[in-house]
């Protein structure tokens, strides 16, 4: 069913946003390479982020921002 798929995608996105938020709380202002490592170890497998998205998120966190919106 389409509704089940939408629900699963929504839940997967929430997990992703929570993981980004948790990394942002713990690593705000840290050097870029440390934030990238933290994101790589914390992020769930789905939905996948490509390299550019991961770098953009890490850059935001390394300057003290929380790109999750939470």
Range of the domain at 37: 2-18+28-62
- CB neighbours (10 Å) of residue 67? 17
pLDDT, the chain, mean: 89
- Per the model's pLDDT, the better-predicted residue between 9 and 46 turns out to be 9
Q: Is residue 52 part of a domain?
A: yes
Q: What angle do CA 25, 10, 36 make, to 5 degrees?
A: 35
Any alpha helices (H) in the chain, and if so which ranges? 2-27, 32-42, 51-62
Radius of gyration of the chain (CA): 13
**43-67: per-residue pLDDT in tens?**
877 567 888 999 999 999 999 999 9
Cβ(62)–Cβ(32) below 8 Å: yes
Q: Is residue 69 part of a domain?
A: no
| Prior bond of 47 cis (ω within 30°) | yes
């Amino acid at each position: 069913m389409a509704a089940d798929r939408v629900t699963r995608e929504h839940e997967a996105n929430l997990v992703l946003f929570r993981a980004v938020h948790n990394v942002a709380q713990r690593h705000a202002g840290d050097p870029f390479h440390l934030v990238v490592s933290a994101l790589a170890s914390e992020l769930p497998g789905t939905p996948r982020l490509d390299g550019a998205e991961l770098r953009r998120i890490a850059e935001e966190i390394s300057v003290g921002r929380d790109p999750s919106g939470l």
